Amino acid sequence: MNEPILHRPGGTGGSWANVAVLVYKQDDATSFRDVTRQVLFDDPLLDCQLRYFEVGPGGHSTLERHAHVHAVVVLRGSGQCLVGDTILDLAPHDLVHVPSMTWHQFRASLEEPLGFLCMVSAGRDKPQLPTADELARLRESSVVCEFIRA
Ligand code: MN
């Protein structure tokens, strides 16, 4: 019989106790600011992982795109995200679907953190960062230009 695995909250901020708090990205320290990651669920029998990310006030995730999709559920705090060419305000219980090959970036508000669950496929492709040309194209929209951190 397998032992049940139960993760409970109670770590720092909105994090789970007894789950390692990881660096958001191991291989790239410059594309993001003040983001932690916890892997809450990772079972090969279900081909997905459920992670919890917490972005500190004023922080942001990487501006990226990839073939795999995200289901993001906001759990705490407030912020905004870019999905494609749209910027969305975020509050607890919001669910954001990030489609395949769509530029996206999450930002916490200046006043409070943004904590969210993110479900992804376990066998996923590596995120792509925008090239100089792609960044220039994104910046053609003044709203997007103002929002993105890259
Ligand atoms: Mn992503």
The CATH number of whichever domain residue 94 belongs to comes to 2.60.120.10
Question: What would the two tokens of residue 26 be?
Answer: 């191991």
What percent of the chain lies above the pLDDT cut of 70? Answer: 99
Q: What per-residue confidence (pLDDT) applies to 140? A: 97
| pTM passes above 0.75 | yes
- Host domain of residue 37: 31-147
Residue 94 in any domain: the answer is yes
Q: What per-residue confidence (pLDDT) applies to 28? A: 75
Tens digit of each residue's pLDDT (9 = 90 or more) over 109-143: 999 999 999 999 999 999 999 999 999 999 999 99
Q: How many whole angstroms from 104 Cα to the centroid of ligand 1?
A: 7
pLDDT-based confidence at residue 7 (cuts at 50, 70, 90)? very high
What's the domain count of the chain? 1
Residue 76 in any domain: the answer is yes
Residue 101 in any domain: the answer is yes
Residue 111 burial by Cβ neighbours in a 10 Å radius (0-12, 13-18, 19+): exposed
Question: What would the two tokens of residue 37 be?
Answer: 């990651």
Residue 122 in any domain: the answer is yes
Q: How many whole angstroms from 10 Cα to the centroid of ligand 1?
A: 26
Residue 23 in any domain: the answer is no
Residue 1 has pLDDT above 70, yes or no: no
Q: How many whole angstroms from 3 Cα to the centroid of ligand 1?
A: 32
* Full DSSP string of 34-103: EEEEEEEEEETTTTEEEEEEEEEEEEE---BB-SS-EEEEEEEE-EEEEETTEEEEE-TT-EEEE-TT--
| Catalytic positions, written as ranges | 118
Residue 5 in any domain: the answer is no
Asked if residue 60 lies in contact with residue 108, where contact means CB atoms within 8 angstroms, the answer is yes
Residue 54 in any domain: the answer is yes
Tens digit of each residue's pLDDT (9 = 90 or more) over 63-101: 999 999 999 999 999 999 999 999 999 999 999 999 999
Strands 70-77, 95-98: pairing kind:
antiparallel
Alpha-carbon distance of 33 to 67, in angstroms, equals: 23
Residue 82 in any domain: the answer is yes
Q: How many whole angstroms from 58 Cα to the centroid of ligand 1?
A: 19
Q: How many whole angstroms from 70 Cα to the centroid of ligand 1?
A: 7
